[in-house]
């Protein structure tokens, strides 16, 4: 079910049997010489909408949160960025709105590595609101990068054993090629595999990564490979949403989701 193509009575009916909603979330930012500016929000949207097409009764997809934490890309035209503080406030308002209707499981399918920390901080801000007030939050938040869905990253590295990199990767570009076959771009670029390095402010970023790529060779992408990735991601998404929906609050039983802290974390 797509929330934005539904009426409010349809959502009311949905809530009678499920308390879970999936929000595709990403960023609108440069993706190298050939990648679409929308890549990072298009990928989770493509995957989520494909999951909806395959199993419309099993999943509710909200509108796509299409602008995120992309300050480092601002020296490349077309990038639109929210400051982390703005991003957190906006995620908070989305979450509070959805929880207001009775949603108890908010699943953010993320398409941008640069969003991860800020989304996590936004969740903590939401939880803190309840913690200071000595009350239960009433809903749980979860984010999952689409490439961290079961098997996806492994497949990406099989498809692209060299030149995958970490930004403007052939895997994400392949997914958009599959989703938007009329918008496949090509360009000459060099070196074939882009450099790597730390991520700081926009000027530093542009100095390090002249055409916007990080460690990647996006020309390896094909729509077919994108389709394979989408197929696997859809399976993973449906499974994770099902498991998240089934999770009961604060039971004695151990929950499966320990993802807030990357292991091995101490402290």
Give the footprint of a copy of itself on residues 145-184 (CB under 8 A): 145-147, 153, 156-157, 164, 166-167, 169, 171-172, 180, 183
Binding status of residue 104 toward a copy of itself by CB under 8 A? no
Binding status of residue 193 toward a copy of itself by CB under 8 A? no
Say if residue 32 is exposed, middle or buried (CB neighbours under 10 Å; 0-12, 13-18, 19+). buried
Binding residues among 116-135 for a copy of itself as defined by CB under 8 A:
116-118, 120-122, 124-125, 127-128, 130-132, 134-135
Binding status of residue 136 toward a copy of itself by CB under 8 A? yes
CA distance 130 to 123: 11
Rg (CA), the chain: 19
Query: Hey, which residues does 35 pair with through a beta bridge?
Result: 31
Say if residue 153 is exposed, middle or buried (CB neighbours under 10 Å; 0-12, 13-18, 19+). middle
CA distance 247 to 239: 12
Tell me whether residue 28 or residue 238 sits nearer to a copy of itself (CB atom): 28
Binding status of residue 262 toward a copy of itself by CB under 8 A? yes
Residue in 89, 193, 222, 235 binding a copy of itself, rule: CB under 8 A: 89
Tell me whether residue 197 or residue 239 sits nearer to a copy of itself (CB atom): 197
Residues shown for the chain: 267
Binding status of residue 140 toward a copy of itself by CB under 8 A? yes
């Amino acid at each position: 079910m797509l929330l934005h193509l539904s009426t409010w009575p349809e959502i009311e009916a949905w809530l009678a049997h499920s308390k879970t909603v999936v929000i595709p979330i990403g960023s609108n930012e440069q993706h190298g010489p050939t990648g679409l500016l929308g890549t990072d929000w298009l990928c989770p949207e493509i995957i989520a909408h494909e999951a909806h097409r395959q199993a419309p009764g099993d999943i509710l997809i909200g509108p796509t949160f299409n602008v995120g934490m992309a300050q480092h890309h601002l020296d490349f035209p077309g990038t639109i960025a929210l400051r982390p503080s703005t991003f957190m406030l906006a995620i908070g308002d989305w979450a509070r709105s959805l929880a207001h209707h009775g949603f108890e499981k908010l699943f953010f399918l993320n398409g941008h590595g640069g969003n991860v920390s800020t989304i996590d901080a936004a969740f903590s801000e939401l939880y803190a609101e309840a913690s200071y007030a000595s009350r239960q939050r009433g809903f749980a938040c979860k984010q999952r990068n689409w490439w961290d869905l079961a098997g996806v990253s492994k497949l990406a590295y099989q498809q692209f054993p060299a030149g995958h990199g970490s930004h403007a990767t052939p895997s994400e570009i392949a997914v958009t090629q599959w989703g938007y076959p009329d918008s496949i771009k090509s360009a000459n670029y060099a070196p074939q595999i882009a450099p790597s390095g730390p991520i700081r402010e926009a000027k530093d970023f542009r100095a390090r990564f002249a055409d916007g790529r990080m460690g990647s060779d996006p020309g390896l992408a094909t729509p077919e490979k994108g389709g394979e990735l989408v197929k696997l991601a859809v399976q993973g998404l449906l499974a994770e949403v099902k498991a998240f929906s089934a999770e009961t609050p604060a039971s004695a039983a151990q929950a499966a989701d320990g993802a807030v802290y990357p292991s091995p974390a101490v402290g």
